[in-house]
Amino acid sequence: MTARGWIKAALAAAALLLCAVLREPSRCCIVLGIFAAGLLAENLISELRYRRRLDRLIGYITRVQDDLSLAPPECASEGQLDILQSEIYKVVALLREQYSGERQQKEYLSDMLSDISHQIKTPLTAIQLMTELLEHPDLDAEKRMEYAEKIDLQVGRITWLIRNLLTLSQLEAGVLKMKPVQIRLPELMQEIHSALEIMAEVKGVSVEMQVPDAAISADRHWLREALMNIIKNCIEHTDAGGFVRITAMQNNLYTQLTVTDNGCGISKTDLPHIFERFYKAENASAQSVGIGLALAKQIINAHGGTVEAESEQGKGTTFTVRLYTQ
């Protein structure tokens, strides 16, 4: 029984007790009449309140179908209608959250398709142009071979771009899972050094490593990909005669890798955006598509780690990667 029911029962008992005390039919009738009139008035008021709240709830349900962001009215704390109202608001809150997630997903897919279209447009245009040139019957064999090699280069670029975009989208969606194994840090860094050695020599940049004999738990393939992208970025933005230095340290909480170069640095305007997909800083090369650092960040985040960058134009850049002990 509700609190209101107990109050009614108490009033009824009081009226009967009063009638027993009075012992006069006329006075008893007056008391019972007053009690009955009070109950009738209370029922009418309750009915009006009930209908008003029900109309308000129906109106809210009608409006919220067109606008899920509509805030619910205040809800009381007892009664069946209050419970129904509370449950309806919970359903609306759940639908609002799902709607927001779906809208963000649609916006993400739209942006992704727009980015892919924009990035593929340039190599496809080049392929189309060179294909038209190859159709000329008087084109000599040397030129044909040159155009064929350029077409192959552009196809390779498109393949690389699509592969990395798919990887990036899988990481952002949480679909691609890391498979951690025990890795000796010096061995991993030596693999990266060997892969980038020729690139560094061509640029005239020395790559220095000071890595302790420590072990980490990580996905070997993807962590190598992430660190290579960061180190490669440093090499690309360092002039001949410069250096890229990789150091590491380990404690009970995390393993920290620091990649430092003395290259051209990154402007204060570009620095907050360098890990964004397809962002190209003002000193980016013409071949850059702005995906390497974004991919590196997502891979490191998937390991539960962090990556940050500090830079000063004309002095160089430092990337700090932290992989926390699991």
pLDDT digits (tens, 9 = 90+) for 260-306: 999 888 888 888 888 887 777 666 665 666 788 988 999 999 999 99
Strand bridging mode 254-261 / 316-324 = antiparallel
Q: Measured in Å, how far apart are the chain's first and last C-alpha atoms?
A: 54
Q: What are the angstrom distances between the C-alpha of 213 and each of 157, 162, 197? A: 37, 36, 21
Strand bridging mode 215-218 / 206-210 = unpaired
Query: pTM of this prediction?
Result: 0.62
Contacts of 78 (CB under 8 A, 6+ apart): 2, 3
Q: Do 248 and 185 meet the contact criterion of CB atoms below 8 Å apart?
A: yes
Average confidence (pLDDT) over 117-137: 81
Average confidence (pLDDT) over 33-46: 64
So what's the pLDDT on residue 219?
93
Distance, CA of 7 to CA of 10 (rounded, Å): 5
Predicted confidence (pLDDT) at residue 50 exceeds the cutoff of 60: yes
| pLDDT band per the 50, 70, 90 thresholds, residue 259 | very high
Per the prediction, the chain carries an average pLDDT of 79
Beta-bridge partner residues of 215: 184
User: Higher pLDDT residue, 64 or 241?
Assistant: 241
| pLDDT band per the 50, 70, 90 thresholds, residue 319 | very high
So what's the pLDDT on residue 40?
61
pLDDT digits (tens, 9 = 90+) for 157-185: 788 778 877 787 778 777 788 899 999 99
Domains of the chain, with CATH numbers? 3-97 (no CATH), 111-173 (1.10.287.130), 181-324 (3.30.565.10)
Q: What are the angstrom distances between the C-alpha of 53 and each of 2, 44, 69, 70, 312? A: 18, 14, 21, 17, 63
Q: What are the angstrom distances between the C-alpha of 187 and each of 47, 61, 122, 140, 150? A: 79, 62, 39, 49, 36
